[in-house]
Amino acid sequence: MKLVGAKKFLRIAKPGMFFLQFWTSVNDCYDIINKYQNNKFNEILDKHNFELYIYGDNSGSLNIEYHDIENEEFEIVDGKEYNCLLYTDLNIIGDACPYETLYLVFDNVDELYDISIVKTLTKEELIKIRDWFLDYGAPFTDEANTLALKAMEEFYPDDIIVNYK
């Protein structure tokens, strides 16, 4: 897993990737970076609001609402109903402010359980949900990422948070 800013995020983001988004203040972003560098994941998760997503592209991702929120609508994945899945037009630049947002990117689904992110879904369910989303939300394109990346390079060339690696 790695903590990155918006520019690095768009360079490494691939459809199906799990990630957390921390959209907060500039000062809180610096606090998150400091705690991440000092391996204090639990302090980050306890103090800061975050949301779990499965990435599609810069125009759409799947939000897994696991904070005891129950949507009125549900999705059926592999024969099971889930009321915690929300397709969202998450824009890395556009909706979130790239200079106030960090992303914790997971290399594999096991890392979500290494730091106890997911409490109600099993690893197998997350993999089924990811695979369903990739079929449901497709086609995902790099074009949306490329346009957002160009905008960040133009407007935030030296911002520490945007460029955090």
The single-letter code of the amino acid at 71 is N
Nearest to 140 by CA among 53, 16, 57, 17: 57
Percent of the chain exceeding pLDDT 90 equals 41
Q: Which string of b and e fits 1-21 if b means at least 16 CB within 10 Å?
A: bebbbbbbbbeebebbbbbbb
- Sorted by where each begins, the domain ranges of the chain are 2-155
* Per-residue pLDDT reduced to its tens digit, 9-54: 988 989 999 999 998 899 999 999 999 999 988 888 888 777 789 9
